[in-house]
Structure 1
Amino acid sequence: MARRCELTGKGVMVGNNVSHANNKTRRRFLPNLNEVTMISDSLGRSFKFKISAAALRTVDHRGGLDAFLAKAKDEDLSPRALSVKKEIARAAEA
């Protein structure tokens, strides 16, 4: 699986290691990904996501998985998270 946050789309960035002698070598900055289980209040089910630590704090700040997905842009979400978002929206309508 790619090193990409399923909720925010945050991925690997590239840059340089710069030595004291100002030599530059390429390096990768990896996102701080964690596999977490989140519970949807409206569906009453749990979902496993591989998300960044920053996204986990944002989910808590917005009031849970349902509120986060309601505000999230569709292009940032992974296909699995997008299907969960649509499922939650259908449950909210009914």
Structure 2
Amino acid sequence: MSRRCELTGKAVLSGHKVSHSNHKTKRTFRPNLLQVSLLSEALGRSVRLKVSAHALRSVEHRGGLDAFLTKAADIQLSQGARELKRKIAKAGEQPVERAAS
């Protein structure tokens, strides 16, 4: 599995570690990835995703996983997140049946 956020596309970056004497050595900057379960209201189930802490804050800010995915561009989402986005859009089109009380 790659070290890439499934929602925002954040990945490993490379750069230099610079010492006090300005000596440069290669290093990597890894994203803060978390394995989380997010609830999809349209699908009525939870979904496990590998997301960055920044993406998790963005999901909460936008009002949940469904709202985040509908506004997100397809190019930055992983293949699994794109399929999830299509399922949510399809579930949102169908009218919800309500029990008569």
Q: TM-score range by the shorter chain?
A: over 0.9
Task: Report how far residue 34 of structure 1 moved.
Answer: 0.2
- The equivalent of 2:68 in structure 1 is 68
Aligned residues with identical type, % of pairs = 59
Task: Report how far residue 63 of structure 1 moved.
Answer: 0.2
- The equivalent of 2:43 in structure 1 is 43
In the TM superposition, structure 1's runs of 4+ consecutive aligned residues that sit over 6 Å from their partners are none
Task: Report how far residue 66 of structure 1 moved.
Answer: 0.2
Secondary structure, counterpart of 1:16 in structure 2:
strand
- The equivalent of 1:27 in structure 2 is 27
- Whichever residue aligns with residue 14 of structure 2, its letter is V
CA distance in 1, matches of 2:33, 2:8: 11
The answer for unaligned runs of 5 or more in structure 1 is none
Secondary structure, counterpart of 1:75 in structure 2:
helix
Task: Report how far residue 21 of structure 1 moved.
Answer: 1.2
Deviations 1:57-76 (A, max 9, x none): 00000000000000000000
The structure having more radius of gyration, on CA atoms, is: 2
CA distance in 2, matches of 1:52, 1:4: 8
CA distance in 2, matches of 1:87, 1:32: 27
Q: 1:89 and 2:85 equivalent?
A: no
- The equivalent of 1:17 in structure 2 is 17
CA distance in 1, matches of 2:4, 2:34: 11
Q: State how many pairs are aligned.
A: 94
CA RMSD of aligned residues (A): 0.5
Task: Report how far residue 20 of structure 1 moved.
Answer: 1.1
